[in-house]
Amino acid sequence: MKHKKTHDILLAAPGYLIYTVFMIIPLGLCLFYSFTNWDGISKNYKMIGFKNFVRLFQDASFYNALKVTLIITVITVLIYNVLGVFLAVVLNRKNRACAFAKSAIFVPTVLSSVVVAFIWSYIMQKDGGIINTILGVFGIPPVDFYDTPMHTIAMISVIISWNGLGLFMVIYVATLNTIPQELMEAAEVDGANGVQRFFRITLPLMMPGITINSVLSMAGGLKQYDHVKVITGGGPGGATQTITLLSVEKAFGYNRRGYSSAIILVLFIMIVIVSVIQISITKKREVEY
Amino acid sequence: MKKLLSILLCVLLVCGTFCTALADETKIVFCVNIQPQLPLEFWQSIADRYMAANPDVKVEIIGNPSSNVTLPEYEKNLLATDQFPDIMVMQNPADFVPSGALLPFEDGELDYLVDPEVGKIGGKQYVANYKKQIIGVFYNKDMFAANGIEVPNTWDELVAASDKLLAAGIQPFSLGLKDGWPQGQLANMFAGTDLLAKDPHWGAKRNANEVKFNNPDLVKGMQKYQTICTKYSGDNITGITYTQMLEQFFTGKAAMLPIGSWVNAEVAKGEQDFEVGWFPIPGDENANVVSVFVNEGLSIGAGTKYPEICKDFIHFFFTDKELYGEFLKSEQLFSTTKETVEYDMIPLRKNMEEQIASMQEVEGFESMTGDDAFLPGLKDYFTNKMTQNIAIGADVEAELDAFDAEWEIANEAIEDAQ
């Protein structure tokens, strides 16, 4: 028995070690630095209590970044999950057309987010971009995707969704395949139509997948950095800046690593709270058969 | 078993000797600014030439790994992770000096430079300034001539010229906010003409909190900047990158390009089918002020084990005329050494030199050096926030007030650290 216990600990040790080194320690350091005035380069710093947090909650750029982050999160979570479920249900058939469609939707997932962002930057150009060139062929005036921050944020959200939708769809397809066919057949025999079968059987039984996908998509949205960095850099004037972009800017542009740590800590707490709420809601709706 | 042990000992002995030899090697790390005109190969060639002349020294070249990471950001990362280089291209020493990261040069060590005093911080020099760049307006001479427009000498004439171009269906200026920094050059020009021309050391007064960003001169300059951005730079300024700005100008889609002298490197390619001219941004009365960047050069890390070798390397860079000439030629730069360095100069570059000879030179506003330099972080705020907001129509005075508020935060951070 004792030998088994040692064996278990040894097997788990690498996992614990990696988690500690790359997760617990950085998080602890982030917590520590958030109470300091460290500039990120000096050897010396002072403990300044909650000053960084007080300043953070008075900082207009933080609220703007929070707004942008939440908009991106809401749009991407909706697209990933609503469209993801829809595509999974529609394409969950064994024929070549569906297999091709699933592959086509999945392909962007394997592309680097930076590459995707660069590609879409060119596609969206007002002068010479593919979209506006095609519109021009039909005599439609060019669209300026950067004309207002809201348009740009909406467009970025769509690009992020295009980049990641495939993964969420595949998870939903996998979840769909766990639903016993007999249940569907029984419902069909009982006279349930397609819509009724979807809302009464398919959707409730897909809840485990929805739980995973909603948490993953929400956390991904709140952590958004790379697409926005490449497409707008957070501009103009920080109007499309997300929380992570703001944090990096404060750390490396403004030499305020302590303040930047406070931003990240607040983001971490937000993600934890929202995830816990989300999991508790969706878990309750999961059904067993 | 004995045999195996003997082989193992021999291997250890050889490894030990090899490692000791490596440890004895004098190695300095040189962090460079990799750009299209100054690729890694160029910097490596400097290292190779120095190593050929000094066989005992190994120079390792490192540079910012991606264009998404600026050189100062990369250097701050290196410093925070105890990997700060021995020598580095330095763009904003004011960010590094407070942490004691840079080694000051002794008086007289940079006597081979025209102005070894420029950019001193607290009376000490931390940067061997290796280039001078000027900012102004490149213009399409053919387009100006075709529309009967003379080179403007006052702000009113510039507005009149822009109106005339607009009336002719030509976009007067090529400007873009998407990359964050190019629009800042035009803002720098107006700040130079309307503010720094009156008081070249205004920056030091701001740092001493004797003056505010929200002052009538800077308000006037930024209002002019806003007029150019909102009225004369097309309807897509937020979506235009630096590359697209160049493309707009060099393909004749816009008549003027307000940017730095580094664009001479593009002019030198000769791909445009028109003649390019240059003028400084005019003030209310005349066009007699030019903003100059002297903020970039070579610095030595305070933690280097080989300060004398680093100084020798920097001396070598400036005094090898062929090498320094190649460096200057890359962007058709202005030399900073006392000795003249010849290189293949395009006519426009020579013309610029003749024009500015009689002008008042002021430092580029965002990149003022020494005690005039912005407090840490404010340069980013100026380019990424304030000038962008003003360019899309924000209230100028409110933006300058916000800049003053940002100064308070930056100053408080410095006071906290002391």
Please state which CATH number belongs to domain A60-285: 1.10.3720.10
Mutate to test the interface with B, among A143, A254, A261 (most CBs of B within 10 A): A254
Please say whether the beta carbons of A40 and B76 come within 8 A: yes
Give me the residue spans of the domains in chain B: 26-132+294-343, 134-292+365-417
Residue the block writes with tokens 């300043």:
A55
Segment (H or E) for B255? strand B254-260
Tally C-beta pairs within 8 A across A and B: 103
Label residue A127 by pLDDT band (50, 70, 90): confident
- Reduced to 3 states, what is the DSSP secondary structure of residue A108? helix
User: What is the rounded average pLDDT of the residues A35-44?
Assistant: 82
- Reduced to 3 states, what is the DSSP secondary structure of residue A36? strand
What pLDDT is stored for residue A95 in this prediction?
Answer: 87
Helix, strand and coil in chain B, % to nearest 5: 50, 15, 35
pTM: 0.81
Using CA atoms, how far residue A62 sits from A3, A65, A217, A250, in Å, is 53, 5, 22, 11
Label residue A141 by pLDDT band (50, 70, 90): confident
CA–CA distance, A182 with A174 (Å, rounded to integer): 17
Q: What single string gives the DSSP state of each residue in B171-220?
A: EEE----TTSSHHHHHHHHHHIIIIITT-TTHHHHHHTTSS-SSSHHHHH
Q: What single string gives the DSSP state of each residue in B308-375?
A: HHHHHHHHHHHH-HHHHHHHHHHTTPBP-BSS-------HHHHHHHHHHTTSEEEE-GGG--GGGSPP
**B95:A255 CB<8 A:** yes
pLDDT of residue A283 exceeding 80: no
Residue the block writes with tokens 């809601």:
A281
ipTM > 0.85 (yes/no): no
Closest to B355 measured CA to CA, from B117, B137, B182: B137
What residues form DSSP beta bridges with B113?
Answer: B337
Structure tokens at B408: 């308070």
Which chain A residues have a beta carbon less than 8 Å from that of B100?
Answer: 42-43
Which chain A residues have a beta carbon less than 8 Å from that of B392?
Answer: 236-237
- Closest chain B residue to the Cα of A143, Cα to Cα: B236
In angstroms, what separates the C-alpha of A166 from chain B's closest C-alpha?
27
Extended strands (E) in B17-165: 26-32, 57-63, 87-90, 102-103, 128-129, 133-140
In angstroms, what separates the C-alpha of B303 from chain A's closest C-alpha?
12
Instruction: Report chain A's mean pLDDT, rounded to a whole number.
Output: 88
- Closest chain A residue to the Cα of B247, Cα to Cα: A127
What pLDDT is stored for residue B21 in this prediction?
Answer: 47
Q: How many CB atoms lie within 10 A of CB B345?
A: 16
Structure tokens at A168: 């969420």
Label residue A288 by pLDDT band (50, 70, 90): low
Residue the block writes with tokens 């348009």:
A151
**A42:B384 CB<8 A:** no
Task: Give me the residues of B, 360-389, that contact A with CB < 8 A.
Answer: 376-377, 380-381, 384-386, 388-389
Please state which CATH number belongs to domain B26-132+294-343: 3.40.190.10
Q: φ, ψ for residue B335 (rounded to 5)?
A: -70, 155
- pLDDT 10s digit of each residue in chain B, 418 long? 556 555 655 555 555 544 444 455 789 999 998 877 788 899 999 999 999 999 999 999 998 877 667 788 889 889 888 899 999 999 888 888 888 899 999 988 999 998 888 888 888 999 999 988 899 999 999 999 999 999 999 999 999 999 999 999 999 999 999 888 899 999 999 999 999 999 999 999 999 999 999 999 999 999 999 999 999 999 888 888 888 899 999 999 999 999 999 899 889 888 889 999 999 999 998 889 999 998 889 999 999 999 999 999 999 999 988 889 988 988 888 889 988 888 888 899 889 989 998 999 999 999 898 889 888 888 888 998 999 999 999 999 999 999 999 999 888 877 766 6
What pLDDT is stored for residue B375 in this prediction?
Answer: 87
Which chain B residues have a beta carbon less than 8 Å from that of A46?
Answer: 416-417
What residues form DSSP beta bridges with B237?
Answer: none
Checking DSSP bridges between strand B297-301 and strand B102-103, what pairing results, if any?
A: antiparallel
Please state which CATH number belongs to domain B134-292+365-417: 3.40.190.10
Q: What is the DSSP letter of A202?
A: I
Q: Which residues of A148-162 are buried (b: 16+ CB within 10 A; e: fewer)?
A: ebeebbebbbebbbb
User: What is the rounded average pLDDT of the residues A60-86?
Assistant: 94
In angstroms, what separates the C-alpha of B413 from chain A's closest C-alpha?
7
Which chain A residues have a beta carbon less than 8 Å from that of B376?
Answer: 39, 254-255
pLDDT tens digit sequence for A174-230: 998 888 888 888 888 888 888 888 888 888 888 888 988 998 999 999 999 999 998
What pLDDT is stored for residue B323 in this prediction?
Answer: 87
In angstroms, what separates the C-alpha of B377 from chain A's closest C-alpha?
3
Structure tokens at A207: 């809840």
pLDDT of residue A3 exceeding 90: no
Compare CB distances from A42 to B384, B394, B417 and report the shortest one's residue. Answer: B417
Decide whether B26-132+294-343 matches B134-292+365-417 in CATH topology.
yes
CA angle, residues A85, A91, A96, in degrees to nearest 5: 160
How long is chain A?
Answer: 289
Please say whether the beta carbons of B396 and B191 come within 8 A: no
Structure tokens at B85: 């280089």
